[in-house]
Chain A
């Protein structure tokens, strides 16, 4: 093997950096099946970071209990769809606290405020409240346009919690089903369905009718004349 081949072997391999990094981090365990890092095309740095974040615990047990109560209050089960806890929203929020550490203080602060407010209103902690008491507290902060100015900080926190809960819910298989999302699969786009166009009184621009992709042509290799007209 000459010098060039040596270098080629060393550098053409995309495994090189991976092996080196792995060697620097002995004892890293494979992620367990439940809490997996992102799949597909990961760098070694990404794999290590995901594994590390999945091992760490941010929320205390009390905080976890509050989160479970709150996310199911936000997105409960109904006849067609599961609740937020059933689709793993609390685990998603736990992960996001570590993935985006700037969320930690606002989230922890909001959860702490729940106990202050529970004590003010009911003389106890949030996790011991019954559901009508929980509703009373949440109603103070869940309606941004109506909430008293004194609660503006807690309203902001609840908006954050609502957004995270929705992210965690609608990014699941059940969430897609509820939303009616039909994509993320191979298909042939042939425009907006005719029934939908008719409903809105819209139509595809007539000018391009002759040139729009025809599904039946998708296997034919394109050829042009010298003027750039598609002829085959």
Chain B
């Protein structure tokens, strides 16, 4: 067994009616910059494309530290101030077997009621 955690990988793809962001690995201090930049890019792209929804799949994310978690908060806060006519929704997908995913994402849902939804798979 290799005890080193896998690096955080952020994969972005365009789907017919959404932008999909898939995260995997370990979102630790090494991942903060990449995650922040990626979410900024996703935000810009979603607005330009007038995308109604961004889906963030964290089901393969092993862990997220609070610094990376803040990047989600900053992103959500930016979406909150977009004019409602251009604003997109954010939907998080998580693995219901991973307890921290459920708890942390529920916190995001309560943070931005109506904007963020979460669903366990």
A and B are interacting partners: no
Which A residues form the contact surface with B (CB < 8 A)? none
Chain B interface residues (CB < 8 Å from chain A): none
